[in-house]
């Protein structure tokens, strides 16, 4: 049996996600490493409604990154090495977010 896979995230990632549909998170998102930003955007696109005005506000500045994520979801091969690594790290054809467990968050200390 393989050990359960987890994706380590920073405390900032968790706090942004937790407040994503509550308040403006743009500046906090800009401070994330690109790897975490793509992971966060993927997760938020999956978990929150883009009809929500706060969610939409938080997504708008990251249109370019979101379009890259949509390209992957449309089965287009990514050219961005960071996205390729993130796909490989999550072990799927797409960027997989199922391995982020918020009940027992694995924080990286920065």
Band of residue 110 on the pLDDT scale cut at 50, 70, 90: very low
Q: What is the mean pLDDT of residues 30-57?
A: 95
Q: What is the pLDDT of residue 95?
A: 67
What's the pLDDT tens digit per position in 23-38? Answer: 999 999 999 999 999 9
Strands (E), the chain: 9-10, 107-108
Check residues 49 and 100 and name the one with the higher pLDDT. 49
Q: What is the pLDDT of residue 63?
A: 97
What's the pLDDT tens digit per position in 56-106? Answer: 999 999 999 999 999 988 889 889 999 988 888 776 666 666 666 554 444
What ranges do the domains of the chain cover?
9-108
Q: Among residues 23, 19, 57, 17, which one has the least CA distance to residue 39?
A: 17
Q: Please report where in the chains the tokens 């708008």 appear, as a residue.
A: 60
């Amino acid at each position: 049996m393989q050990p359960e896979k987890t994706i380590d995230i920073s405390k900032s990632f968790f706090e942004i996600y937790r407040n994503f549909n509550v308040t403006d998170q743009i500046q906090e998102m800009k401070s994330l490493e690109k790897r975490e930003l793509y992971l966060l955007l993927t997760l938020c696109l999956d978990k929150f409604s883009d009809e929500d005005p706060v969610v939409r506000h938080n997504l708008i500045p990251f249109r370019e990154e979101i379009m890259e994520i949509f390209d992957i979801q449309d089965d287009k091969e990514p050219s961005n090495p960071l996205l390729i690594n993130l796909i490989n790290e999550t072990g799927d054809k797409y960027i997989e977010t199922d391995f982020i467990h918020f009940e027992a968050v694995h924080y990286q200390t920065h």
